[in-house]
C-alpha cells in the first residue's frame, strides 16, 4: 500500500471536511484495502468512519425503510425490519460474498464496490478505469465476465455488487451528505454507465458521504427472488443475476420490478419492461417479452456472448419464481 495518513473523524461533518479527491473513506475495507494492496487505490489519506455514530441503525418511518451507511451487510440481511419489509434485499446480500466479508462490508461501501474486471485489478496492464486514457485490453481480451449492456468503447466492466441489484429493483434512494448539505440520489441515477469517463463509477461527489439508503414501501412479500448464476455454487461473482419482485391483483401483475446484475456497469433496469408487465397475467410469454425488452441492444464481447442468452433465460425464471412466490434460497442450490 502507498503510505497514507490515517484519521478517525467522529462526525459526518468532520469526515466531509477532511475529504478531498486524494482521500478515501474507510468503512468495511473489504474492497478499499483489497484495491490498495493491488496499488489500484492509492489514497493519500484514509478517513476511517468507524467512530461516527448514527450510521448503524435500521429504522422504518412512514413506510420507508432506512438503512444506515455503516450497517454491515450481515446485519442488514438479518435485521427484522429488512426481513419483514424488504426480504429481497436480504436475499441479494446473502447471495454475495461470504459470511466473513458480509460481517465487514457495509451498506455504503457496497454501493461503492468497484468492478472485478481483471485488467482494472492488474496494474501491469492498461485500463481506462484505473488510468484514464491508457486503453481497454478487456475489449478483445479475456472478457467472459464483462458487460453485455451499456458498455462503451473505453470500458466494458461490470458492477459486481449483489446488494445494489436488489436496491435498484426496489427503487432505493441513496442519501448522501456533502459540504452543501444532504442530497438524495435515486438508485437509477447513482451508478453511471462508463461512457468516456469509466473512472467514475457513480454520481457521488468527491466530498460526499453516503449516510443511508432508503427503500420506499412496497409489500411484495414472498413474490420476489434473487436469482444468481455463477461459476461455483457460492463465493463467486454473478455471471448474471436477476432481482425481481411482483405484486399480483386478481391474478394479474399489478407491479413488477426487475434489475439485472453482472451484465452492465450498473444494475440494469428497463422501466419499459416493468410497465409492459403491468396488467398482464404472469406467464412465459409475458416474461420472455420482458426479457427481450430488458436485453434490447445487448452486445457480447466474444467470451461473454453467452450471457445474453443466459440472461434471456434467467429473467423469465426469476419472474416465474417471483410470480409463484418461490424465492431462490441461497442455501438450497436447486433453482426453483
Partner 1 sequence: MQNQRIIGTPQDRVDGRAKVTGAAPYVADFAAGQPILQAHPVGSAIARGRILAMDTSRALAVPGVVEVFTHENRPRTSWFGSSWQDEVAPPGQPLRPLHDARILHSGQPIALVVAETYEAARHAANLVTVAYEEEAHHTDLGLRLGTAYVPPKTRSGTTPPPKPKGDVEAALAAAPVTHQARYSVAAEVHNAMEPHATTVIVEEGGALLIHDKIQGVMNTQATVCAIFGLAKEKVRVVTPYLGGGFGSGLRPHHQCFLAVMAALALNRSVKLVLPRDHQFFLAHRPQTEMLVALGATRDGKLTAIRHDAIAGTSTYEDHQEVVVNWTNLLYPAPNVSLSHKLVKLDIESPTDMRAPGAPIGLFAAESAMDELAEKLGMCPLQLRLVNHADTDEVSNKRHTSKELRAAYRMGAERFGWQGRPLAPRAMKDGHELVGWGMATGAWEAQMQTHHARVMLDGEGRATVGVATADIGTGTYTILTQIAAEALGLPMARVTVLLGDSLLPKAPVSGGSWTAASAGAAVDDACARLKAELLRLAQKKGRLLGATLEDLRFADGAMARWSDAGTAIPLADILGESGRDSLVADGKAGPDMLSQLRYSSHAHSAVFAEVRVDEALGQVRVTRMVQAVAAGRILNPKTARSQVIGGAVWGIGMALHEEAQEDHVLGRRMNHNLAEYHIPACADVPDIDVLFVEEHDPRTSPLGVKGLGEIGICGAPPAIANAVWHATGRRVRDLPMTIERVLGLKDTPA
Partner 2 sequence: MPDDLSPRGPDLLSVPITVNGQERHMRLAPWTTLLDALRDTLGLSGSKKGCDHGQCGACTVILDGRRVNACLVLAASKEGSEVRTVEGLAAPDGTLHPLQQAFIAHDAFQCGYCTPGQLCSGVALLEEGHAKTPDEIREWMSGNLCRCGAYPNIVAAIGEVASR
Q: Applying CB under 8 A, which residues contact partner 2?
A: 1-6, 8, 21-22, 26, 29-30, 33-34, 36-38, 42, 44, 46, 48, 50, 74, 97-101, 103-104, 233-235, 330-333
Distances from the Cα of 155 to the Cα of 47, 126, 136, 180, 195, angstroms: 29, 11, 6, 32, 7
Min CB(238)–partner 2 separation in Å: 15
> Which residue is listed with cell 461473482?
237
Min CB(67)–partner 1 separation in Å: 26
| Site residues (vs partner 1, CB under 8 A) | 1-3, 37, 39, 116, 118-119, 121-125, 137, 140-142, 144-145, 229, 231-237, 239, 305-306, 309-310, 313-314, 317, 333-336
15 or 148, CB closer to partner 1? 148
Distance separating alpha carbons of residues 14 and 201, to the nearest angstrom: 24
Instruction: Label residues 192-221 b or e (16+ Cβ within 10 Å = b).
Output: bbbeeebeebbebeebbbbbbbbbeebebe
Cell numbers for 300? 457480447
Q: Which does 46 bind (CB under 5 to 8 A by kind): partner 1, partner 2, none?
A: partner 2
Min CB(240)–partner 1 separation in Å: 9
29 or 178, CB closer to partner 2? 29
Distance separating alpha carbons of residues 165 and 227, to the nearest angstrom: 11
Min CB(297)–partner 2 separation in Å: 33
21 or 61, CB closer to partner 2? 21
Min CB(320)–partner 1 separation in Å: 9
Q: H/E element holding 253? A: strand 252-261
Q: How many residues does the chain have?
A: 336
104 or 240, CB closer to partner 2? 104
Q: Which does 5 bind (CB under 5 to 8 A by kind): partner 1, partner 2, none?
A: partner 2
100 or 278, CB closer to partner 2? 100
Query: Would you state the torsion angle of the CA atoms of residues 128, 205, 218, 158, taken in this order, to the nearest 10 degrees?
Result: 10
1 or 281, CB closer to partner 2? 1
Q: ∠ CA 59-65-71 to the nearest 5 degrees?
A: 60
Amino acid at each position: 500500500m502507498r503510505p497514507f495518513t490515517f484519521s478517525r473523524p467522529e462526525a459526518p461533518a468532520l469526515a466531509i471536511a477532511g475529504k478531498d479527491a486524494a482521500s478515501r473513506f474507510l468503512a468495511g475495507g473489504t474492497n478499499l484495502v483489497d484495491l490498495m494492496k493491488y496499488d489500484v487505490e492509492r489514497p493519500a489519506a484514509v478517513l476511517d468512519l468507524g467512530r461516527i455514530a448514527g450510521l448503524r441503525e435500521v429504522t422504518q418511518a412512514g413506510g420507508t425503510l432506512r438503512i444506515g451507511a455503516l450497517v454491515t451487510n450481515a446485519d442488514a440481511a438479518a435485521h427484522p425490519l429488512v426481513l419483514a419489509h424488504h426480504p429481497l434485499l436480504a436475499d441479494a446480500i446473502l447471495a454475495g460474498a461470504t459470511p466473513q466479508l458480509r460481517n465487514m462490508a457495509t451498506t455504503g461501501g457496497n454501493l461503492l464496490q468497484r468492478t472485478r474486471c481483471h485488467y482494472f485489478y492488474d496494474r501491469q496492464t492498461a485500463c481506462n478505469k484505473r488510468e484514464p486514457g491508457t486503453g481497454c485490453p478487456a475489449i478483445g481480451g479475456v472478457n467472459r465476465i464483462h458487460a453485455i449492456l451499456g458498455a462503451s468503447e473505453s470500458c466494458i466492466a461490470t458492477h459486481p455488487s449483489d446488494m445494489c441489484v436488489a436496491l435498484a429493483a426496489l427503487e432505493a434512494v441513496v442519501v448522501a451528505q456533502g459540504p452543501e448539505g444532504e442530497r438524495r440520489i435515486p438508485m437509477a441515477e447513482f451508478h453511471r454507465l462508463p461512457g468516456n469517463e469509466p473512472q467514475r463509477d457513480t454520481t457521488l461527489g468527491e466530498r460526499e458521504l453516503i449516510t443511508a439508503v432508503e427503500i420506499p414501501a412496497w409489500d411484495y412479500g414472498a413474490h420476489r427472488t434473487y436469482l444468481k448464476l455463477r461459476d461455483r455454487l457460492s463465493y463467486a461473482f454473478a455471471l448474471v443475476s436477476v432481482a425481481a419482485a411482483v405484486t399480483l391483483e386478481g391474478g394479474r401483475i399489478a407491479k413488477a420490478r426487475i434489475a439485472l446484475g453482472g451484465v452492465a456497469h450498473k444494475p440494469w433496469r428497463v422501466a419499459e419492461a416493468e410497465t409492459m408487465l403491468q396488467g398482464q397475467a404472469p406467464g412465459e410469454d409475458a416474461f420472455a417479452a420482458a426479457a427481450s425488452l430488458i436485453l434490447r441492444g445487448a452486445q457480447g464481447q466474444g467470451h461473454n456472448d453467452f450471457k445474453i442468452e443466459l440472461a434471456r433465460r434467467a429473467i423469465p425464471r426469476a419472474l416465474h419464481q417471483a410470480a409463484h412466490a418461490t424465492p431462490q434460497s441461497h442455501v438450497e442450490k436447486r433453482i426453483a
